[in-house]
Amino acid sequence: MSEQYALAPEFASQPRLTIPSNRLVLRLFNLLLRLQRRGFSFGDRVALRTHSIRGDAGNEIPVFEIAPTDLTGTAPALVDYHGGGFFFSYAAGHLSTAERYALEGRCRVFFPDYRLSIGHPFPAPFDDCYATLSWVHAQAAELGVDPQRVALLGDSAGGALAAGVAQKAVDRGENPICAQILIYPVTDHETKTESARRFTDTPFWKTASNLSMWKVYLRASEHAKSGGQAPVPPYAAPLHRESFAGLPPAWVEVAEFDPLRDEGRQYAEAVEAAGVPVAVREAKGAIHGYDLVEESPTAEAMFKERMAAIQGFLGNP
């Protein structure tokens, strides 16, 4: 019940849904999302270009490029991976936030429409996200991107994708990244933290939904086929990594009343323990997905702090 959580007023009335693992139901949710974002349009201060790049499986990955209309020459880039449990498409709120990143960060935002786990379990969504980063670097000159100022950002499941992509880039010694910006990130498939045990009926996202997310995402892995006996695949759950040394600096946001709160904290602690600069912020009274709540004072305050950090990472005062 809502009484058990001291939520900020703008979150108290948000819906409490349990997201199932049934893929037919998930497809219906996605249809609603696509209808919801049809009314969205970018403002006249940004220009939108749509690129089509080829993934490792020969698939086409649409990538939206959002940039200020008056941005010329070489500029920093932000590769933005949307959240949605790996199985939901992006919402209008994701596009609106990407527009703000471009305008306030004075950068080019690259937003991949990666394959969803409903039809393509891990590693397909992750592979599309890594392919996007590789493409930005390979085409940096043509895109007008400074390859030394490329940052990764992701919210929720997008945070897992951003962190995993950063890890793979470091392991391969390619595609340099100046920062990983993780917003209430997914990092741990086990769903056994204190916050996962406590926050079982929070608005937007609850523990049961988290379990559904991992069931769908990992269903093709040896980990799932072995009933959890085999290790989780590399880069799927970023917290399950042997060494965090050498990763790019991190900005990590968590929400006070979020089942994922503690795994976000634990990821930040692991990165910091490896000697990587980390900044952690907790949104008090907030829920998972607070960025998607319109006119939220809490979300706006967090966004301003995040934007200051992004400007610092990208070298744009």
Distance CA 120, CA 137 (A): 25
Catalytic residue among 80, 155, 188, 258: 258
Q: ∠228-233-237 over CA atoms, to 5°? A: 90
The CA R_g of the chain, rounded to the nearest whole Å, is: 18
> Which residues partner with 287 through β-bridges?
257
> Which residues partner with 153 through β-bridges?
80, 181
Query: What is the CB neighbour count within 10 angstroms for residue 182?
Result: 32
DSSP tag of 187: -
Query: What is the CB neighbour count within 10 angstroms for residue 31?
Result: 11
- The Cβ-side half-sphere exposure at 316, using a 13 Å CA radius, reads 24
Give burial (CB, 10 Å; 0-12/13-18/19+) of 176.
middle
For 48, the 3-state DSSP assignment is strand
Catalytic residue among 209, 288, 291, 296: 288
Evaluated on CA atoms 38, 43, 49, 52, the torsion sign reads negative
Residue 258 among the catalytic residues? yes
* Helix residue spans in the chain (DSSP H): 9-12, 23-36, 92-105, 124-138, 140-143, 157-172, 194-198, 207-217, 222-225, 261-273, 297-314
The catalytic site residues sit at: 156, 258, 288
